[in-house]
Amino acid sequence: MQQSDLQDREGAQMLLATGVVLLMSLLSMAIFGVKVAGLTLPHEPASDDVLVATEEVLDQLQPLTQARTDLWMDGGLEGLEAAELAVASVHDDLLHHGELRGVEIKITEMSVAQLDADTLEVTGELGVSDGEAMLTFDVAFTIDA
């Protein structure tokens, strides 16, 4: 009788240990699932990521486009073609930069027009959005060719 009682206790302990391991595994998977879903991030209704990103882009858009246009022109391209390549490369960089910040940044309807022999005008629409807000802003600036 003692032998049977001892085996029952060992069986119960093994069953309990298995249950604890299974419970810990399920808890671990649940925590991982919540982290992947992003539910652990605090919700900020007053988040200003879109405004900050828009301001930063507007401050740097003209100087960056001018610098890249100058580089392409130094490489031998004509002013209009250099400016179009510069605008395209700036747009691509902004798109990737936004992905890293969690904000989508796009420039749509971008065009480059020759105003005179030495001046080009760049126009378009800047769109910045995150999961909660979107802001569009008309962009127009000149660069030297």
Q: pLDDT for 115-133, tens place per residue?
A: 998 999 999 999 998 877 8
- Residue 95's pLDDT is what? 86
Dump pLDDT digits (tens) for 28-86. Answer: 877 766 666 555 455 455 567 888 888 989 999 999 999 999 999 999 999 999 999 99
Helix ranges (H only) for 39-127 are 49-74, 79-101
Are both 13 and 72 inside the same structural domain?
no
Dump pLDDT digits (tens) for 8-38. Answer: 788 888 888 888 888 888 888 777 666 665 5
Are both 16 and 80 inside the same structural domain?
no
Other residues' Cβ atoms within 10 Å of the Cβ of residue 59: 10
Are both 3 and 34 inside the same structural domain?
yes
Mean pLDDT lowest among 27-36, 103-112, 134-143: 27-36
- Residue 103's pLDDT is what? 85
Are both 64 and 112 inside the same structural domain?
yes
CATH number at residue 116: 3.10.450
- Residue 59's pLDDT is what? 93
Are both 57 and 119 inside the same structural domain?
yes
Residues 11 and 47: their CA atoms lie apart, in Å, by 56
Q: Of 102, 99, 97, 114, which Cα lies nearest the Cα of 61?
A: 97
What's this model's pTM, rounded to 2 decimal places? 0.64
Q: Number of folded domains in the chain?
A: 2
Residues 136 and 70: their CA atoms lie apart, in Å, by 28
Are both 17 and 81 inside the same structural domain?
no
- Residue 9's pLDDT is what? 82
Are both 53 and 36 inside the same structural domain?
no
- Residue 43's pLDDT is what? 47
DSSP structural state of residue 134: E
Per the structure, the complete domain to which residue 118 belongs is given by 49-144
Other residues' Cβ atoms within 10 Å of the Cβ of residue 83: 27
